[in-house]
Amino acid sequence: MQVVRALFDGNEIKFIEPLKTKKKTEVLVIFPNEADKIAPEMARKLLRGSGRGQKLTEKLLKARAEDIKLERK
């Protein structure tokens, strides 16, 4: 599968990058859902703060240690 960036102006799809194919090819066009669109900067901010202060690493290590104990029994 090949991914190519393009712009859609409401009528035509215009490629930003050249399409590397020499024969007719079936394509699948996917449009992003505008309602759920989040800017990359906002997405990074949301991910950076997730789990802060919850000691997730310690909880995962403790759970894994308990799993190992149960496996040995």
Asked whether residue 49 is domain-assigned, the answer is yes
Asked whether residue 14 is domain-assigned, the answer is yes
Asked whether residue 10 is domain-assigned, the answer is yes
Asked whether residue 65 is domain-assigned, the answer is yes
pLDDT digits (tens, 9 = 90+) for 4-44: 788 888 888 888 888 777 888 787 777 766 666 777 777 76
Question: Cβ(39)–Cβ(30) under 8 Å?
Answer: no
pLDDT band at 46 (very low <50, low <70, confident <90, very high): low
Asked whether residue 1 is domain-assigned, the answer is no
Q: How many domains is the chain built from?
A: 1
- Interatomic CA distance for residues 48 and 2, integer angstroms: 31
Domain range for 58: 6-30+38-72
